[in-house]
Amino acid sequence: MPVIQTPASHGADAPGEPVIVLDGVKKRFGSFTAVERAHFSIDRGEFFAMLGPSGCGKTTTLKMIAGFEQPSEGRVVLESVDVSRTPPYKRNVNTVFQQYALFPHMTVAENVAFGPKSKKVPKSEYTRRVAEMLEVVRLGDFAHRRPTQLSGGQQQRVALARALVNYPSALLLDEPLAALDLKLREAMQFELKRIQREVGITFVFVTHDQGEALTMSDRIAVMNEGRVEQIGTPEDIYHRPASLFVASFIGTANLLPGELAGRDGDDVLVRLEAGGTIRASGGGTSVDDVGARPEGSPVSVMLRPERLLVSNEPTGAGISDGRRLSGTVEDLVFQGAAARLSLRLADGTDVITHVGTDTDLPFLRPGDTVEVTWQPGAAFVLPGWPPRAGASSTDVDQIEAAL
Amino acid sequence: MSSPTSTRGHIARWALNIYAGLGLLFLFVPIIWIVAFSFNQPRGNYNIVWQRFTLDNWRDPFSDQGLTQAFVRSLQIAAISTSVAVVLGSMIALALARYSFKGSGPLNFLLVLPLTTPEIVLGSSLATLFLDWDITRGFTTVVIAHIMFQVSFVALTVRARVRGFDWTLEQAAQDLGSSPFRTFWKVTFPLILPGILAAALLSFALSIDDFIITLFNAGSLSTFPIYIDGSFRVRFPPQVNVLATTILVFSVLLMSIGLLWGLRSRRRNA
C-alpha cells in the first residue's frame, strides 16, 4: 500500500489541532433558520459525523464548510483562516457528493486528475498522484473506464479518489452511502474507515443513519432543527445523551417520565409516573444540570434495552430499590443473537429489553410478570418529558415521515 | 396454422404498411423530383419537363452567376446570424435553466412568441421599424432579422438539452478547485455541446431557407430563395436543382454524423 504524504502529516500540524472551526455560524433562508449558532471545531485526522434527521441543518452546515453556502452570521475558519466568504474553488476542502457527481464525459483517471489539473499541478506530478489514489481505492485497473461503466460502489470510490487527490485539509462527505444498497453500504463503512486511516485526512461526514455514525466516527455532532444538540464520542452520545432527542434518535431508548424527588451525590432520585422511585446517574453531567433543578421538576429516566436484566423471580438481595421495575410480558420476538422482549409497566408504558436467546427465560409467555433490574449507572436522567412515554425506536424512516 | 384472426391481422398489417408507404411517398416525392431534375437536360429556360439524363449540370453547378452569388450570400448570412444566435440563445437557455430570477416567466413567453407569430407579421413589422429609423435594408438588416427568430429556436433547443443537466457537476468541479470559467469550458460546455450543435444546425437551415421575413428586409439584396423566386418568372435553370440537392445532401450528411456520434457516445456510456 502506498504511503501518502499529505501536507497534513508534516511537522507543526500536530493531530488534535483544530482544522475546521465553526464560530457561531448561523444560516437563514428568508425567514427560515436552517442552522442555529453552530459553534464547534473539528480536529485534524478526526472522523467527524454530523448526524440528524433530514432538515436538521447538517447538509447546510457541510455546504458552508465547502463554500456552497455562506453563513448569515458567524465565521467558518479553515486552517486558522476565515474562509466565510471564500468561494469553493479557493478552499482546500473537497466533497464527496451524495450522487457522486462524476463527470460523465471523462474517464476515471481524467475525473481524478481534474482537481490537480485545475490547480495547475505539473503533469508528471498529477499522473503519479492519480495512480496512487486509484490504488488507495483499489481501482487501478479501471483508470480508462467511464463512470457509467462502473457499479455504484466503484463510482463512489472514484468520487473518493477524486476528492482525496488534492490532499485537502478535510474531506467532506454528504450522505456518501445513501445511494448504495444495504450490503454494499456496510462494506463501504469499513472501506471508508480504512481509507481514512491510510490517508490520515480529516473526514467530515453527514448522515441521517445513526448506525453509520456510531460505527465510523471518532466524534458525532447530533443536530435537530438547526441546533447542535450534542457533540461527543459515540459512547458519550449513546450512554450519556444530552437531551431526550439525542436519547431517542440514537438507538432504542426506554424513556420513563417522572419528577425530580431528590439528590444523592451525583445521582438523582426520580419518582416515576409509572410508579416507584428510581436512582439515576447523569444529574450533574448533562448540559442543563438536571440535578440542580427544584424538586418536582419534570425529568425522564433513560434505560437502554440491552442494559436491562430480566428475571421471573422476585428480585434477590443486593438489588436496592432504586434499580427495579416490574411489568408483564407483551411480546417476545426472536432476532438471531438476542430476542426482543416487550414489557408493559403497571400504568401501560411499553418497555423494550433484549434477552440472550440461550441463557435466560425460555418460558416467557405473554401475560407473565417479570422483574427488570440493571447495574448501577445504567439509568440516566434527562430534562423534560418525552412526547410518548416508554420505548422509542430509532426507526429513521418513521422520524423522517413525522417531519 | 392460420386462424381467421391471424389472417385478418395479416391483412391489416399489410394495409397499414401500404398506408405508411404512401404517406412517406407523399413526403418525399417533391424531394426526389428536385434531385432527379438536377440530372435533366432541359429544353428552353424551364427545367420542368424531363428530357434526358445528363451530368452537365453537376459538372458546372456555378454557371448561373446570379444564382451562385445569391447562394454564397445566403451561406454568409446563415454563418454570421447562426454564430451570433447560437451564442445569445445558449446564454439565454443556460440562464433560464440555471437560475430562477424575476422576469424568467415573461422571458419564457417572449421566447415562444417569434415561433408562434406568423412570419408575415414579424417580417413586415421589422421592415416598418427599419423604414422608420431610416436604415437602408440590405445584408445587415437580413442578418439582424434572422438572428431575431433564430435566437428563439436556439434557446429552446439548448434549454431542452440543459434541462436534464446535473448542476452538482459544476459544484463538484468548483469544489475540486476549478474556477467558474474553467468549470464552464471543461464541464458544462462539453456536456451541452450536442444540444448547441443541434441548435446551430437547425438555425443554419432556417436561415438558408427563410423567404418571407427575408423578403421584407432584404431591400435590393438577393438571397438564394429570393433569387429562385425572382428567376422563376423568366427561367428555371437546372443549377437550382443542383444547389438545392447539394444543400440536401449536406444536411443529410450532417444529420447522419450527428446520429452516429450520438449512438457512439450512448454505447460508450451505457
**What is the per-residue pLDDT across A100-110, written as a single tens digit (0 to 9) for each?**
999 999 999 99
Residue pLDDT, tens place only, A87-132: 999 999 999 998 899 999 999 999 999 999 999 999 999 999 999 9
The verdict on a CB contact (< 8 Å) between A114 and B190 is no
Does B167 map to a domain? yes
Query: Is the pLDDT assigned to residue A172 strictly greater than 90?
Result: yes
Are residues B149 and B242 part of one domain?
A: no
Segment A330-382, tens digit of pLDDT: 888 877 777 888 888 888 888 988 887 665 555 778 888 888 888 888 889 88
Measured between beta carbons, which residues in chain B are less than 8 angstroms from residue A102?
Answer: 172
Per-residue pLDDT at A16 exceeds 70: no
CATH number, domain containing residue B134: 1.10.3720.10
Whether B230 is covered by a domain: the verdict is: no
Task: Look at residue A391 in the predicted model and tell me its pLDDT.
Answer: 81
Residues paired with B6 in a beta bridge: none
Task: Give the pLDDT band (50/70/90) at residue A147.
Answer: very high
For residues A183 and A171, is the Cβ–Cβ distance under 8 A?
A: no
Say if residue A161's pLDDT is above 50: yes
Q: Which helix (H) or strand (E) holds A102?
A: none
The set of residues, in sequence order, having a beta carbon less than 8 Å from that of A143 and lying 6+ positions away, is A107, A108, A109, A130, A131, A134
Q: Domain of residue B45: give its range.
A: 1-63+237-270
Q: Does the structure show a pLDDT above 60 at A178?
A: yes
Is residue A386's pLDDT more than 70? yes
Say yes or no: B43 and B124 in one domain. no
Average pLDDT of every residue of chain A: 84
Cβ <8 Å between B178 and A87: no
Contact A34, A184 (CB under 8 A): no
The verdict on B186 and B263 lying in the same domain is no
How many angstroms separate the Cα of A26 from the Cα of each of A39, A69, A72, A74, B91?
9, 11, 6, 6, 35
Distances in whole angstroms, Cα of residue A14 to Cα of each of A43, A48, A93, A195: 10, 17, 18, 20
At A399, is the pLDDT very low, low, confident or very high (cuts 50, 70, 90)? very low
Check pLDDT > 50 for residue A320. Answer: yes
Q: Tell me: the pLDDT tens digits for B242-269?
A: 888 988 898 888 888 878 877 776 666 5
**Is residue B32 domain-shared with residue B160, that is, in the same domain?**
no
Among the partner-chain residues A95, A114, A146, the one whose CB lies closest to the CB of B269 is A146
Among A276-285, B154-163, B251-260, whose mean pLDDT is lowest? A276-285
Q: Is A114–B178 a contact, with Cβ atoms under 8 angstroms apart?
A: yes
Domain membership flag for residue B231: no
- pLDDT(A285) > 70: no
Report which of residues A64 and A390 the model is more confident about: A64
String of b and e for B159-189 (b: at least 16 CB within 10 Å)? bebbeebeebbbbbbbbbbbeeebbbebbbe
Split into its structural domains, chain B has a count of 2
Q: Quick check: B193 contacting A, CB < 8 Å?
A: no
- B46 DSSP 8-state letter: B
Higher pLDDT residue, A215 or B43?
A: A215
Look at residue B19 and tell me whether its pLDDT is greater than 80. Answer: yes
Are B95 and B153 contained in the same domain? yes
Render pLDDT for B118-139 as a digit per residue (tens, 0 to 9): 989 999 999 999 999 988 888 9
Query: pLDDT value at position A10?
Result: 40
Please report the pLDDT score of residue A315 as a whole number: 56
Q: Is the pLDDT higher at B151 or at B264?
A: B151
Residue B255 lies in a domain: yes
Contacts of B182 in chain A (CB under 8 A): 118
Q: Are A298 and A244 in contact (CB under 8 A)?
A: no
Q: Are β-strands A93-96 and A170-174 bridged in parallel, bridged antiparallel, or unpaired?
A: parallel
- Looking at the structure, do residues B44 and B92 belong to the same domain, yes or no? no
pLDDT given for residue A335 in this prediction: 75
Q: Strand, coil or helix: what is A340?
A: strand
- Residue B228 in any domain: the answer is no
How many angstroms away from the CA of B109 is the closest CA of chain A? 28
What is the pLDDT, as a whole number, of residue A75? 94
Cα separation of A191 and A137, whole Å? 9
Query: Chain A contact for B140, CB < 8 A?
Result: no
**Statement to judge: residues B268 and B195 lie in one domain:** no
Q: What is the pLDDT of residue A325?
A: 86
Residues across chain A: 403
Contacts of B270 in chain A (CB under 8 A): 148
Residues B168 and B38 in one domain: no
Query: In whole numbers, what is the pLDDT of chain B averaged over residues?
Result: 87
Query: Which pLDDT score is estimated for A234?
Result: 93
pLDDT single digits (tens) B167-190: 899 999 999 999 999 999 999 999
- A71 band by pLDDT with thresholds 50, 70 and 90: very high
pLDDT band for position A396 (cuts 50, 70, 90): very low
CA separation for the pair A95, B113 (Å, rounded): 43
Asked if residue B169 belongs to a domain, the reply is yes
Q: Is the same domain home to B102 and B212?
A: yes
Question: Burial letters for A56-75: b for 16+ Cβ neighbours within 10 Å, e otherwise?
Answer: bbbbbbbbbbbbbbebeebe
Which residues of B are less than 8 Å from A90 in CB distance?
Answer: 177
Which residues in chain B (173-192) have CB-CB distances under 8 A to chain A?
173-180, 182-183, 186-187, 190-191
* Residue B89 and residue B31 in one domain: no
The pLDDT value given to residue A403: 47
Alpha carbon of A41: minimum distance to chain B alpha carbons (Å) = 21
Interface of A with B (CB under 8 A): 66-68, 87-90, 93-95, 97, 99, 101-105, 114-115, 118-119, 146, 148-149, 162-163, 166
pLDDT band, residue A5 (cuts 50/70/90): very low
In a domain, B227, yes or no: no
B169 and A CB contact within 8 Å:
yes
Beta carbons of A192 and A212 less than 8 angstroms apart: no
- B229 is a domain residue: no
Specify the amino acid at residue B198: A
Taking contacts as CB-CB distances below 8 angstroms, the residues of chain A near B190 are: 105
- Partner residue opposite B182 with nearest CB, options A67, A118, A166: A118
What chain B residue is nearest to A121 in terms of C-alpha separation? B177
Express as a percent the part of chain A with pLDDT over 70. Answer: 87
Mean pLDDT of B203-221: 89
Helix, strand, coil tally for chain B in percent (to 5): 75, 0, 20
Residue A48 in 3-state DSSP?
Answer: strand
Domains annotated on chain A, with CATH = 7-235 (3.40.50.300), 240-314+322-402 (2.40.50.140)
CA quadruple B200, B206, B209, B215: dihedral sign: negative
Q: State whether B149 and B87 are in the same domain.
A: yes
- What does the alpha-carbon distance between residue A196 and residue B144 come to, in Å, rounded to a whole number? 59
- Both B31 and B76 in a single domain? no
A162 vs B contacts (CB less than 8 Å): 176
Rounded-to-integer distance, Cα B197 and Cα A311, Å: 77
